[in-house]
Structure 1
Amino acid sequence: MTLLALDAGGTSTRAVALTPAGDVLGYGRGPAGNPTAAGIGPAAESIGAAAGVALRTAGSAEVAVVAMAGEQTDAFRTEVTERLAAYGVTRVVLEHDLLALYCSGTPAPDGYALIAGTGTVAARVVGGGLAAVVGGRGWLLGDAGGGFWIGRRVARAVVAALDGQAPPTALTPLVLAALGIDMRTADPEDPVARAALVRQLVSSVYARRPVALAELAPLAFAVPNDPAARSIVVAASRALADLVDAVRVPELAGPVVVGGSVVVRGILGAPESLAADLVPPAGETPVVPVPDGLVGAAVLALRHTGHAVDEATFLRLQERVLAYALRASA
């Protein structure tokens, strides 16, 4: 029997073919496989394309597990099932990307998961399933501590500084450059010049999709000694800690598996001068960062077909999936 595991994200889709013993047979990658981000048809097509590459050696698979965010609609399931049937798949299981992320970091059946990318969501995992989920409400209604949340505060800090409502910030040249605004000839002491820069900034931001402000989030981590940037990052770390606390229960210590650029490359990768002020998203519990949910999707594929995943199998999966991914990106 050959199994297929896929992590269908909003930017790309990753797939592995594997045996019931946890041996990886192939790896594939395709465009966005999340129906919310790409649309049902294109997302299903991306999943099929990634599956085809992963199955070049094995040729076919019987069961496929697809880890994804968002609503698992009947229409999407039908499209994916039809695409994967071309590779012999007769059973398709759709799983939450949070659960796959958790299973990418540990084989333990109980613990916590946190995703902090553009948005934020946390979960408590019990018995290998999702027992509680908090967050994930989108940039308009939630996602505190996520990329949009940070990026919006970065843009607001620059507008306030240029307007004279706040002290100057090192974020200003970074934000203006990111938006393609040339400030080299503008005198920062000239209120007329500053007003012109604000107008350009406002026009640029409102011309884009609101969630695109998430692209400015990394700038907050680029100048850790700037007071405005520092306050934004510290507030974000506290918001993420609060999100995990919302699903935490006294009888379950952890582990806490985390993924997403804000927490993995931002909060956990912050320099020492900033890290001392940050609140770890897991309190006293060790944090396990992972790049994505592909290993977890493979773990779930094994469990859905009745195969236990012990520590040795889990570590072998981690090692081999990483090796295939690195080879594919070389």
Structure 2
Amino acid sequence: MITALLALDIGGSTSRATLVDMAGNCLGQGKSRGGNPGSNPPDQAAAAIIAAAEAAVADAGVPLNIVVALLAMAGPNVNAARTRIEAAFRALGLSGPLVFSGDLNALLPSVTAATSGYCVVCGTGAGAVRVRDGEIERVADAAGWLLGDLGSGYWLGHQAAIAITAALEGRGPETALTKAILGALDIPLTGERAFDGRPLPLRLLIDAIYAMPPIELAKFAPLVIANRDDAVAAGLLAQSERYLLADFQQVFNPGMPGPVVLAGGIAAHLTGLPAAIAQVMRTAGHEPDIRLSGDGSVGAAVLALRHQGVTVDEAMLIAIAASVKARAAKAITPA
């Protein structure tokens, strides 16, 4: 029986499980839908987490003694589903503890062996953290879509929907986002009126938006990015950058130079953000070290190894990342 560590990177839209041995070699991987209990119903979130773990164990294909299961999870604590998750993991071979960690903890170790630095994340959610000696010391935002996540993918999608509502009513500027988002929802842009006197496209938009879980508004964020030459879209992206810069400034300690990791699917498209962060660091007398995050699965695996007392240096981190990447490539290679 092989000794293994189960590491889960759990976000609002995707949950990924990775099994590694004590040397960081990837033994199996699994993927499911989002398991963030703040943006998914608790039972659905738990089911997604369990499904990802089951897929990883099936991918490993050998009996395992799982000595720890570490969940790097977005959203509020999933205590309500902890018993269900633990029971499922025990059935998969978990003999050790079930450990919960914030998903932001996995960002720094996804790309560097440094245990102190900063993470600025803009994906479905958004915020910034200062990490010292492997522990989060300060947080700005990252409070979820109901309480914050300003500048996030959800925020961009929500604001885009608000903007096209105003445009369709004639109380806001015209925008290319109207055609883009209505097209994504299969709503024709016509001049007809609905039963309530509204433009028919607006009536159908309202119905479509209220029929979806709120967090799914994040799916409009790529349309904002794709239409960044539009004045309304450009304004939303600029505001997103301002929010994320403010988050970084709130957690930045002039006595701690970095590195700074930018993470999340939106962060790479906030093209002015790295330069703005670099200016803050230069003003404090530091040479900026700003990096795009690596695979969150790698960061979660590093956290699981550290929990077991393993010191992960740069060479080992590179090896873990290569092993995870190779396993993923093998999984998608046609037979």
Please give the TM-score of this superposition, normalised by the length of structure 1. Answer: 0.85
CA contact (8 A) 1:115 1:259 kept: yes
Give the superposition deviation at 1:296: 1.0
- Match of 2:29, SS? strand
| 1:163 counterpart = 2:165 | no
Give the 3-state SS of the residue equivalent to 2:244 in structure 1: helix
- Write the letter of the residue equivalent to 2:32: G
Asked whether the 8 Å contact 1:98–1:113 carries over to 2, the reply is yes
Provide the residue aligned with 1:279 in structure 2. Answer: 273
Report the counterpart of residue 60 of structure 1 in structure 2.
Answer: 65
Local SS of the residue matching 1:322: helix
| Distance in 2 separating the partners of 1:196 and 1:42 | 38
Q: Distance in 2 between matches of 1:170 and 1:88?
A: 51
Deviation digits for residues 155-207 of structure 1, max 9, x if unmatched? 23223333333443222211211222112x549xxxxx993333333333233
* In structure 1, C-alpha distance between the alignment counterparts of 2:131 and 2:84, rounded to whole Å: 29
Q: Which residue matches 2:331?
A: 328
Q: How far does residue 44 in structure 1 lie from its aligned partner after superposition?
A: 5.0
The answer as to 2:207 corresponding to 1:213 is no
Q: Share of identical aligned residues, percent?
A: 38
| Aligned 1:1-330 pairs, distance under 5 A | 1-36=3-38, 37-40=40-43, 41-43=46-48, 45-57=50-62, 59-86=64-91, 87-183=93-189, 186=191, 195-264=199-268, 266-267=269-270, 275=271, 278-280=272-274, 283-284=277-278, 285-290=288-293, 292-330=295-333
**How far did 1:75 drift?**
4.3
Superposed CA deviations along residues 289-316 of structure 1, whole A, max 9, x for unmatched, are: 2354211111111111111111100011
Alpha-carbon separation, structure 2, partners of 1:26 and 1:282: 39
Residue range with higher mean Cα deviation, 129-138 or 153-162: 153-162
Change (3 A) 1:203 1:82: closer
Q: Any idea what SS the aligned residue of 1:80 has? A: helix
Cα 1:230/1:19, change in 2 over 3 Å: same
Distance across 2 between alignment mates of 1:131 and 1:67: 17
1:38 Cα deviation (Å)? 4.8
* Corresponding letter in the other structure for 2:136: L
CA contact (8 A) 1:44 1:79 kept: no
- Which amino acid counterpart does residue 67 of structure 1 have in structure 2? A
CA 1:195–1:286: 2 relative to 1, 3 Å: farther
Distance across 2 between alignment mates of 1:194 and 1:32 = 35
- AA aligned to 2:328 is A
Question: In structure 1, what is the Cα distance between the partners aligned to 2:311 and 2:15?
Answer: 25
Cα distance in 2 for partners of 1:163, 1:123 equals 40
Structure 2 letter corresponding to 1:19: D
Task: Give the TM-score normalised by structure 2.
Answer: 0.84
> Which secondary structure does the structure 2 equivalent of 1:2 belong to?
strand
Taking a change above 3 Å as real, the CA distance of residues 76 and 64 of structure 1, as seen in their structure-2 partners, is same
- 1:256–1:286: 8 Å Cα contact kept in structure 2? yes
Measure the CA separation in 2 of the matches of 1:79 and 1:233. Answer: 40
* Cα pair distance change 1:250/1:33, threshold 3 Å: same
Aligned counterparts of 2:211 and 2:35: Cα–Cα separation in 1: 27
Q: Separation in 1 of the partners of 2:12 and 2:148?
A: 18
Aligned-partner Cα distance in 1 for 2:275–2:151? 11
Residue 27 and residue 214 in structure 1: after superposition, are their counterparts in 2 closer, same or farther (change >3 A)?
closer
Distance in 1 separating the partners of 2:216 and 2:10: 21
Give the 4+ runs in structure 1 shifted more than 4 A.
none
Answer yes or no: is the 8 Å Cα contact 1:30–1:47 preserved in 2.
yes
Distance of 2:70 and 2:275 partners within structure 1: 29
Deviation by residue 1:120-178 (Cα, 9 ceiling, x = unmatched): 12211000111112212222321110122111221232233333334432222112112
Change (3 A) 1:83 1:104: same
One-letter code aligned to 1:25:
L
The CA distance in 1 between the partners of 2:220 and 2:159, in whole Å, is 9
Q: Aligned residues, how many?
A: 314
Distance verdict in 2 for CA 1:224–1:32, change over 3 Å: closer
- Aligned-pair distance for 1:31? 4.0
Deviating more after overlay: 233-242 vs 193-202 = 193-202
How much has 1:321 moved relative to structure 2?
Answer: 0.8
